[in-house]
């Protein structure tokens, strides 16, 4: 399993997990939210609007999960939903 350097996730706009991690679209990913802020993951061919709350929540609460496996044919986007950015760990799922 290849681990990529941690990536910053903005709380202002959606950022491309693929671009920041340097991994091609279609690469199976294991994404872990290492921060304390909740975040939203979206799969889309273009950047979602900053106010969009569609997608899947990724957080560190026990009843939810901090880690998601994403196998997508389009780009994976992320945005922290709190007042501050967060940090993701990204790994290639083998």
Total of domains in the chain: 1
Q: What is the mean pLDDT of each run of 10 residues along the chain (94 residues)?
A: 83 96 93 91 96 90 79 94 93 88
DSSP string, the chain: -PEEEEEEE-SSS-EEHHHHHT--TT--EEEEE-SSS-EEEEE-SSPPPTT---SEEE---TTS-SEEEE--SS-EEEEE-SSS-EEEEEEE--
- The C-alpha atoms of residue 38 and residue 76 are separated, in whole angstroms, by 16
- Name the residue range of residue 23's domain: 3-92
**CATH code (residue 25):** 2.60.120
Provide the pLDDT for residue 39.
Answer: 94
Provide the pLDDT for residue 31.
Answer: 93
Provide the pLDDT for residue 53.
Answer: 86
Provide the pLDDT for residue 60.
Answer: 76
């Amino acid at each position: 399993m290849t681990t990529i350097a941690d990536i910053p996730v903005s709380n202002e706009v959606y950022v491309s997990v693929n671009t920041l991690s340097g991994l091609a679209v279609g690469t199976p990913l294991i994404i872990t939210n290492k921060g304390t802020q909740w975040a939203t993951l979206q799969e889309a061919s273009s950047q979602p609007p900053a106010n969009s709350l569609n997608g899947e929540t990724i957080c560190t609460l026990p009843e939810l999960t901090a880690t998601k496996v994403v196998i997508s044919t389009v780009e994976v986007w992320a945005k922290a939903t709190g007042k501050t950015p967060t940090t993701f760990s990204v790994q290639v799922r083998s």
